[in-house]
């Protein structure tokens, strides 16, 4: 087979997706990190969570005693926190920074002091 015909055949096979021997396929299996955040009168534990920009995460919200709310405006996250019913937020931080979260359900005398931060490293 002359060079011109060989190139034409190679181009046809590649266009048809038959270039398997020439193209290595990379498969990546990722384990998504799970982070637990507890609420209790009148604090979040831990007060600070560190995440990496671009890495998917599952944030599990657990109310240890009474009903609370979780709100993080900077990352557009919000969920109820009900005792016995953990809430799950799946997201991927897209920007680095320090984002405040707080309780947005009035829960008693210490409600106003209930906050913490999510730090996203970039
Ligand atoms: Cu509260």
Per residue in 61-105, pLDDT tens? 999 999 999 999 999 999 999 999 999 999 999 999 999 999 999
Distance 36 CA to ligand 1 centre (A): 18
Q: How far apart are CA 114 and CA 33, in angstroms?
A: 25
- In this structure, is residue 62 part of a structural domain? yes
- In this structure, is residue 22 part of a structural domain? no
Domains of the chain: total: 1
- In this structure, is residue 12 part of a structural domain? no
Give residue 1's pLDDT band: very low, low, confident or very high (50, 70, 90).
low
Find out whether 50 and 37 touch, Cβ atoms under 8 Å.
Answer: no
Structural domain boundaries, residue 47: 28-121
pTM: 0.75
Distance 113 CA to ligand 1 centre (A): 8
Distance 75 CA to ligand 1 centre (A): 19
Q: How far apart are CA 93 and CA 120, in angstroms?
A: 7
Distance 21 CA to ligand 1 centre (A): 60
How far is residue 46 from each of residues 6, 9, 11, 26, 116, measured CA to CA in Å? 64, 61, 57, 37, 8
Give residue 25's pLDDT band: very low, low, confident or very high (50, 70, 90).
low
| pLDDT value for 18 | 47
CATH number of the domain enclosing 66: 2.60.40.420
- In this structure, is residue 2 part of a structural domain? no
């Amino acid at each position: 087979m002359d060079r011109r015909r060989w190139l034409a055949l190679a181009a046809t096979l590649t266009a048809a997706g038959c270039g398997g021997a020439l193209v290595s396929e990379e498969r990546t299996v990722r384990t998504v990190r799970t982070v637990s955040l507890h609420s209790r009168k009148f604090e979040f534990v831990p007060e600070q969570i560190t995440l990496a920009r671009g890495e998917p995460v599952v944030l599990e919200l657990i109310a240890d005693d009474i009903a609370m709310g979780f709100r993080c405006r900077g990352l557009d996250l919000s969920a109820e926190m009900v005792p016995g019913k953990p809430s799950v937020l799946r997201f991927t931080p897209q920007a680095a920074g320090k984002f405040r979260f707080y309780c947005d359900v009035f829960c008693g005398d210490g409600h106003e002091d209930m906050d913490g931060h999510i730090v996203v490293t970039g």
